[in-house]
Structure 1
C-alpha cells in the first residue's frame, strides 16, 4: 500500500511539474535577472508556471545612470543621491521587470549594496551582511515555495562578490533543504554563440562544483522566426533591460546582446535531477514560437 501511495505521489508531482514549473530566482541586485529573463518569461507565460524572486541587497549602489538623471530629475551618478533614492527606485524597476517576466512574489532582504569588489569572504562570514538572516529567510522561502528550480548567477571567480555570495547562499540553502521535493539549483548567465567560457566550480567552494556529466542547458533567444524572420525572443530581454532605467549606462551596453541563456548544473543536485532539468529545457525550447 505504501508503494502505491508513493507511485501516486510521484505521478501527481510529475504531472504538476509538466503543467506548471515553479522557480525561485536568487540574485544580489535588480538587473541581475537580465542574464536569463526569457527562460523565466517562457516558463511563466508559455508553460503556465510561476516564478518568485529573492533580492539580497537594498539596491543602493550602481551609480551609472547618466541619461537616467534626466528621466528621474536626480543626479544618478552621485553616490549620496544614490544612497538616498536608489533603493526605492530600483525596487520599482525590478517589479516592472518582474511584471514582464511574470514574477509572482518578491522577497527583499535589504542587505547593504556597499561597493564593487570580488572578495566574497566578508559577506559569507557575516561581516558585511547578516548572513544568518539571509540563510534563515532562504530556508523559510524554500520550505513554503514548493519550487522545482532555483536560479542564481554562475559564481565564477570574476564575478562581483555580491553575486558570488548570493549564489553560494542559494546553493547552500538547497543543500540544507530537508523537504520531500528538493529543488534543482542552476547557475545561469547570458553569453554569445561561440563563447569560450567554461566553469567547473569556484575554488574553495566545493558546493559550486558542476556535475561533469551534465550538459550546459541553453535557450537561444536570438533565433529568428515569424514574418520575414524579424521576430526573436531577444525583444523580451530588451523589455526587461529597459525596465532598469536607473542603470542606463550598463543597460545601454547590454541591450540586444547575449544570444544564449545558459545554465550550469551543480554537482550537489546529483544525477537524480538531470532528467527533470532536461525535460524542462526541452519544453522551454519547444514552447511558444520557433523558426519554421
Structure 2
C-alpha cells in the first residue's frame, strides 16, 4: 500500500509538471490573433500547453481583399458580396491559422461584424450584440477550460470598437470568476523594437486599467538562431498572416513586421501573480529554440 501511495504521488507530481500552460484567446475578428501568433505557437508546440480561441463576431466584415478577389473569384471589396461569403471564408482562414498555431478548440459567438467604429458602448449596452449570450458563453468556457491565461487585444482608444468590446467582455468575465480560480488576463499587441506606444487604461472602463508595477512582458519573434542566424519565429507570424487571404491588404502591410509580441498585465489580476507571469515568459523564451 505504501508503494502504491508513493507511486501515485510521483505520478501526480509528474503530470503536474508535464502539463503546459492553458490559454484562452478572446478576439473579435479572424486575423486579430496575428498580434501574438509566435507566443501561441511556442506554448502549444514547445511548452506542450494548449490554446483555445473564442471569436466574438461572425466575420462578415473586412472588405480588404483586392488581390484576394482574384484568388477567390469573388469581389471581396464589395460589402454585399462580403456579407454572403466572408463568414465562411474567414472562418476557414482562421482554421488554417489555428492549425499553424496549434489551436485546440474554437468557440464561435457569431455577433454582427457590422462596420468600423470606435465607440464600444452600443455593443456593451446590447444594442448591437447579444451581450447576455456572450457573457454566459464566456463564463462557461472559462469555467470548463480552467485556463492559466487569457489573451485579448489591448483596448486602446484608437482601436476598432469590436476589438475593445471583445477585450472588455473578456476582462469582465475574468472579474466574475471566484478570485482563487481566475486566470491571468493579458492584453497583447505586436510592436517594433523601437516602439513608443504606451497604454494605461481606456477612459470610462476601469476594468481595463494596467498594473503600474508589473512590467510589459514580451516575446521577441525576430531573434535569430540556427545556421547563420537565418531562422526566427517571424516565419510563424508570416505563416499565420498568409492564411488570412481575404484580408490581403492588411496582411500585405503587416508581413514580416512587428518584432515584439508585447503583453500588458491588467490591474485586476492583482500583484500576487506578477512573478509567476514573469516566470512563464522566461520559460517561453527558453523553450524550443531559445531566444533572448
| TM-score where L is the length of structure 2 | 0.93
What residue is the counterpart of 2:148 in the other structure? 148
Match of 2:101 in 1: 101
Q: Which residue is 2:59 aligned to?
A: 59
Q: Judging changes above 3 Å, is the alpha-carbon distance between structure 1 residues 167 and 220 closer, same or farther for their aligned structure 2 residues?
A: same
- 1:261 is paired with a residue whose SS is strand
Q: Note the alpha carbon deviations across 1:225-273, whole angstroms, 9 max, x for none.
A: 1111111100000000000000001000010000100000000000121
Displacement after TM superposition at 1:20 (Å): 1.0
Paired residue total = 282
Q: Which consecutive aligned stretches of 4+ in structure 1 deviate over 6 angstroms post-superposition?
A: 12-15
Separation of aligned partners in 2, 1:291 and 1:112: 40
Q: Which residue of 2 aligns with 1:45?
A: 45
Structure 1 CA distance, aligned partners of 2:194 and 2:116?
29
Q: Which runs of 5+ in 1 are unaligned?
A: 1-8
How do 1:159-238 and structure 2 match up within 5 A?
159-178=159-178, 180-238=180-238
C-alpha displacement of 1:114: 0.1
Partner of 1:126: 126
1:274 positional shift: 1.1
8 Å contact kept, 1:224–1:290: no
Match of 2:32 in 1: 32
Bigger mean CA deviation after superposition, 281-290 or 161-170: 281-290
Greater alpha carbon shift after TM alignment, 233-242 vs 278-287: 278-287
Q: CA 1:79/1:17 → structure 2, altered by over 3 Å: closer, same or farther? A: farther
What is the CA–CA distance in structure 1 between the aligned matches of 2:17 and 2:110, rounded to whole Å? 31
Instruction: State yes or no: 1:19 paired with 2:19.
Output: yes
User: Take 1:14 and 1:197, find their aligned partners in 2: how far apart are those partners?
Assistant: 42
Residue 111 of structure 1 deviates from its aligned partner by: 0.2
